[in-house]
Amino acid sequence: MSKIKTNKYVKDSPSQPQPPAKTVTPAFKINLALNESPYPPSPKALEAYHETSKVLNRYPNYTSAELRLVLGEKYGLDDTKIMCAAGSEQILSYIARAYIAEGDEVIHPRYGFMVYRFNIAMQGGISVPVEHDDFIVNVDYILKAVTDKTRMVILDNPGNPTGTYVPYSDVKRLREQLPDHILLVLDAAYAEFATESDYDAGMELVDSHKNVIVTRTLSKLYGLSSLRVGWAYSTEEIINTLLHLKGGFNVSKPAQSAGAAAILDQEYADMSRDKCRAGIDYLTVELRTMGLKVTSSVCNFIMLHFPKGRDQMKAADAHLKENGILVGPLGAYNLESTLRITVGTDAENKAFIDAMKDFTGN
């Protein structure tokens, strides 16, 4: 049988292997690995979700109209410039497919969301990672990395896995100083957690400048990771381009309805955010007291650095697993002595700290 020819960029790009289903790792008692919310979604979102069970035989609204309406009203945006998808990761892949071609350079933080590299590779683009200052993105390094081949800058702000953020004044300066033809993608997956007065997700940059896309998600603060709801705001021209790539009914009815209800329940979102922030403060203080280094985070996770290096990190990771706690090693970023820890519920945070006290003896 002749072999089917595969697109070489697909073949050469990093893949996510699929082990036999029977070998899937057993769930850990406490999962602090994936930057999810430790809290369930708003009860109003759950009610809306259950309500949709009556119409599961019907396709969802093709354009996520109700959800776009709610998002437009909440943020004061023109809903024709909003696009919804099954998670913001899906939108990031549309962006790559629409705007990155072979040989194009795409600048992103060295410690930026790993998926950017996959998307760039898939298009035959060239990934241009830029350094940080102590895990904080410096926009001057991005500007210095621009060449004739640069087509796009992707900035996760706040960043994953760093948990740090770039002040809005710097993001504005970045857009102003980047050549107009370079697309600036602001991935604001964790925007809802960042209450700092000098932080802004940058939605207004879409209207005041050309070539800006902001991506957002309901997977994080709104606790809807499993439903897959993400959205983007950009110019009419860019959104219309991305819509060419959107699958027909890409956002399910339960996702659209629960998403809209979650967005409307600001009180619940505020409560979840405050509890996550308190949890992050607790983890940071306790871990620093043990003599470990924690990068200050505005997100729902922290980076924890082990002063004795890779072996100490590995031993800590193993000790946590023995205690039923899963966290995120960052070897894929060459951060060999660092773990990423997502905030849990109060009880989960305490169990994690107890296991770490046991490990460090402090």
Binding site for ligand PLP (CB under 6 A): 35, 87-89, 113, 156, 160, 187, 189, 217, 219, 225, 230
DSSP code for 185: E
8 A C-beta contact, residue 166 and residue 136:
yes
CA angle 295, 301, 306 (to 5 degrees): 45
CB of 62 to ligand PLP, least distance (A): 20
- Based on CB atoms, which residue is closest to ligand PLP, 189 or 351? 189
CB of 156 to ligand PLP, least distance (A): 4
- Based on CB atoms, which residue is closest to ligand PLP, 156 or 348? 156
Listed in sequence order, the residues at least 6 apart from 320 whose beta carbon sits closer than 8 Å to its beta carbon are: 326, 327, 352, 355, 356, 359
Number of Cβ within a 10 Å radius of residue 52:
17
- Based on CB atoms, which residue is closest to ligand PLP, 156 or 200? 156
- Based on CB atoms, which residue is closest to ligand PLP, 100 or 356? 100
- Based on CB atoms, which residue is closest to ligand PLP, 187 or 348? 187
8 A C-beta contact, residue 264 and residue 70:
yes
Number of Cβ within a 10 Å radius of residue 192:
22
CB of 108 to ligand PLP, least distance (A): 11
Number of Cβ within a 10 Å radius of residue 99:
20
CB of 42 to ligand PLP, least distance (A): 17
- Based on CB atoms, which residue is closest to ligand PLP, 113 or 359? 113
Q: How far, in Å, CA of 47 to CA of 51, rounded?
A: 6
Q: Which residue's CB comes closest to ligand PLP?
A: 87
Tokens linked to 361: 């003896």
8 A C-beta contact, residue 172 and residue 205:
yes
CB of 358 to ligand PLP, least distance (A): 29
Tokens linked to 152: 């796009």
CB of 100 to ligand PLP, least distance (A): 17
Residue 224: φ, ψ to 5°: -115, 35
8 A C-beta contact, residue 263 and residue 329:
no
CB of 219 to ligand PLP, least distance (A): 3
Angular region, 14: left φ>0, alpha ψ -120 to 50, beta rest: beta
- Based on CB atoms, which residue is closest to ligand PLP, 64 or 88? 88
